[in-house]
Amino acid sequence: MTEPATTIDRRTLDLIENALLNVRFEMDEVVRRAAMSPMIREQHDEFPMICNRRGQMVVGQFGSYIPGVVEHLGGDLAPGDVILFNDPYLSQGSITHLNDWCLVLPIFHEGHHVAFSSMFGHMMDVGGKVPGSQVNDADSIWEEGIRIPPVKIVEGGRLNRTALDVILNNCRAPEMNESDLMALIAGCRTAETRVQELCDRFGVGAFEAACDALLVRTRDAMAQLIRRYIPEEKVTFTDQVDDDGRGNGPFDIVLTLWREGDVCHVDWTGTAAQAPGPINFRINEGLCKLFFGIYLIMAFDPEILFNDGVYEVFDVTLPEGTVLNPRFPAPVSNRLNVHVRFFDCMSGALGQRAPDLAMAAGYGASPYFVFSGEDAEGEYFQFVELLFGGLPARARGDGLDGHSWWPLFRTTPVEYAESHHPIRVRRYAPVLDGGGPGLHRGGAGVDKEYEFLSDGVFSVNDDRTLTSPWGVAGGRAGGRGSKHLVRADGTEVPLPSKFDALAVRAGDRFVFRTAGAGGWGDPLERPAERVRQDVSDLVVSVAAAEAEYGVVLGADGEVDGPATEARRAQLREGRPPLAAFDFGPPALPAEVFRRPA
């Protein structure tokens, strides 16, 4: 890493750091106000970044890939340029599926290149064989939509209309995509303006020195976390993804961690070979390092600014031809099932040496629902929604109910969904007993019921239907997800967690239940009043309160103290020692759930 060429005082460094953090959030807000699709406007599936002139991320969320993109274009950059791309294989896995369109804008100050701004956002549809473009039964990336190599979509301030028309002509929702693309450009332009203002105020030298100093500071802070929490002895943990949407699975995700000096070694050797179906996660090595850095920062020291300064203190092994590093043209559209196991494996590995610092497993996917067809006026519609699930319990407290893995994501308001699409949300609640019991309860999944008001087709992707999100330090496993269709005549049809374009009629209903999360610690140590509140909040049943937590409630719903004390003593008597990990009941065979003919 380059040390700062110019010394910079602490006060100026703090001013520039906080200004850049504010710019990062301003970029978000500009995009959300200008975008059209619910994926970005309502659910906030977009991510900003500001980099130094070498392309290293200084503030942001998704790590830098910019040097490779610039190299692809032969280093030809000029004021007013905006680069667009979405191909995971041509961006070394920095963008991980085709729905994410990424923009890179070089920032100049008085003719000198000083920085980059960048954003990516999830486009509602990018072509491919099914609406929404996240194809469950794809056998190659060619079926998943249009592949955009790095191209100047704006050159010297002038929109490349021909290239944009070709791209939009391959999408089912061109107007929304164009609106969202222009919103992303506006977000990048916002950062351009603010960085130029910082250079005007402090000078280019001070700005560049601050960027370098922030990278070095993060590197040094991360090295301290690694020395404190990563063991020198190798630890290995294995988790599984249920299936790939094409009947194959389960797929092992294997992580081995250890430390040598200040460097954390992250080795994925033993991970399953790439899947025939689209769960493959084409991760960039730098992005892998960033995710580990973010995990350690958020778990142990959230005050640290995460940026590309983490790169020097991680060494990553990503065997080629696995679900974490597939060979072209492996399909990748539903890669987040593997992505989230990435975090579960890290928690499982760390928990073997320091259970007090470990989290349980979460809902383990990025559940989505896509409904499309023609409305009563004969107009094509497409509704896309991300669902959430239970977040893990940890030593600090309970997991969150019905929450996203990505902190800034939001649920689509029911009013928006029902106002713009022929669909009605009949129920939206936490899954009863979905969170793993523990001293700290795992988060509950989401129980959502949709009624279709028009004929159409719908697709779903989820996971943790066959396996359970595990608990730690005596906590119990969380509940699995489930799906079923209720036909208008009342017939119930169980469904798998992944399927494409299932035909439905007006009046049919779909019940989507996501997985919960594992618990942390002994459930019999959970304060009885907390359990009573869980029952009142409809996340724990009266029966589970007694069976899992040993809490007996009276007819008035209040805790029966003597009965609870006796019940807990009874449950403790003769029970085996608490397990470090509870993986739940045996995995279900995939044959349990089949798409109806």
At 297 the three-state DSSP class reads helix
CA distances from 90 to 12, 70, 94, 149 (A): 38, 12, 9, 6
Distance, CA of 152 to CA of 164 (rounded, Å): 10
Residue pLDDT, tens place only, 414-436: 999 999 999 999 999 999 999 99
- The residue ranking higher by pLDDT, 4 or 175, is 175
**Residue 130 CB partners (closer than 8 Å, separation 6+):** 136, 370, 459, 500, 501
Over residues 397-420, mean pLDDT: 90
Distance, CA of 93 to CA of 375 (rounded, Å): 38
What is the predicted pLDDT for the residue at 511? Answer: 98
What is the predicted pLDDT for the residue at 356? Answer: 66
Residue pLDDT, tens place only, 108-163: 999 999 999 999 999 999 999 999 999 999 999 999 999 999 999 999 999 999 99
- Phi and psi at 546, nearest 5°, equal -80, -45
Q: Is the pLDDT of residue 3 over 60?
A: no
CB atoms under 10 Å from CB of 426, counted, come to 12
Secondary structure E strands in 473-531:
482-486, 492-495, 498-504, 509-513
Q: Is the pLDDT of residue 327 over 80?
A: yes
Q: What is the pTM of this model?
A: 0.92
Give the tokens for residue 407: 């902190």
With contact defined as beta carbons under 8 Å apart, do 465 and 480 qualify?
A: yes
Q: Is the pLDDT of residue 2 over 70?
A: no
What is the predicted pLDDT for the residue at 161? Answer: 97
Smallest CA-to-CA distance from 188 within 112, 82, 68 is with: 82
Smallest CA-to-CA distance from 464 within 485, 449, 486, 442 is with: 442
CA distances from 55 to 88, 117, 410 (A): 18, 9, 29
Q: In b/e form, how buried is each residue of 570-582, taking b as 16+ CB within 10 angstroms?
A: ebeeeeeeeeebb
